[in-house]
Structure 1
């Protein structure tokens, strides 16, 4: 069982991903902005974090860097982005890059 955090300012997207993960037997939570993602990941330990890079209150890479300072510092962080142009594989904070909309088979694979 994987403990997963979905971070996306689109509540529908975050909630849908959480519901899918829960149905697959994972413990899942959501955050709808960068500051709540950082505080949630600092107070709990997550195995995987799906992180939208375009958040209303901050850059996803900055949020990732802050998460790496907390209890979830060893989580596998999956960057979700709607643009190929935002994929920067030199960013060492991010473990996996996924182009939105995420394929559900890929999300399931990343949860295992």
Structure 2
């Protein structure tokens, strides 16, 4: 599940991103409404966690623009403006839930899980790429019927590759989307995790799925389908 966090309070934003990444989610962060709208219209997200009191373009403005562009990403409002007309307006504009600041972390995770169940109940949670099957809800992975056990971060990396099947993704894109890090030429974290993932996904199978595109990045190649 890929989540866009829209929060301008630096300390809270960092706490939310770190917690969501540790929970196994793919996370992007925007600290203002205009940037959040740009990300939401150019990338695919499963959920937006949206503060209302943002510099420049407010959260309400973001919601209005999302609906204007007919972008139906579920939105959970997270705001200190409890009981105000802005909350009602946000829900009327299509937000699916509201959490008041300060909030309990476990409550936020529970609300996200509830949303996941609602979304996945109306569509398949399983994606296939050739003989690889990944279940986004149960986090179970099999290849040619053989069960594969991944760590949380390995699963997040595989999910990102599956979402971009047959597209080359750069090291920078992987760092930003899986680790929520800026490019660091000294870091080899992507290479280390890609090596580990290949050892579990490709080792022992006749046809490798993960391909290195020299000088550019990586690609998961195959025929993608919903199961």
- TM-score bin, normalised by smaller chain: 0.7 to 0.9
Could you tell me which residue of structure 2 aligns to residue 99 of structure 1? 100
Correspondences of 1:1-112 after superposition (within 5 Å): 2-68=1-67, 69=69, 73-84=71-82, 85=84, 86-88=86-88, 91-112=92-113
In the alignment, the residues of structure 1 paired with residue 88 and residue 65 of structure 2 have an alpha-carbon distance, to the nearest angstrom, of: 18
Q: Deviations over 1:74-110 (max 9, x none)?
A: 2210111102224216523211111011221121113
Measured in 2, the distance between the counterparts of 1:62 and 1:92 equals 10
Q: Which moved more, 1:11-20 or 1:45-54?
A: 11-20
Spell out, residue by residue over 1:41-70, the C-alpha distance to the aligned partner (whole angstroms, 9 max, x if none): 111111110000011112211111223426
What is the number of residues matched between the two proteins? 109
Partners in 2 of 1:75 and 1:110 — Cα distance? Answer: 15
Q: Using CA pairs below 8 Å that are at least 6 residues apart, which structure has the higher relative contact order?
A: 1
Larger Rg: 2
- TM-score, reference length from structure 1: 0.87
What is the root-mean-square deviation in Å for CA atoms of aligned residues? 1.6
- Flag as ranges the 4+ runs of structure 1 deviating above 3 A: none
Which runs of no fewer than 5 residues in structure 1 stay unpaired? none
Deviation at 1:14? 1.4
Q: Scaled by the length of structure 2, what TM-score is found? A: 0.45
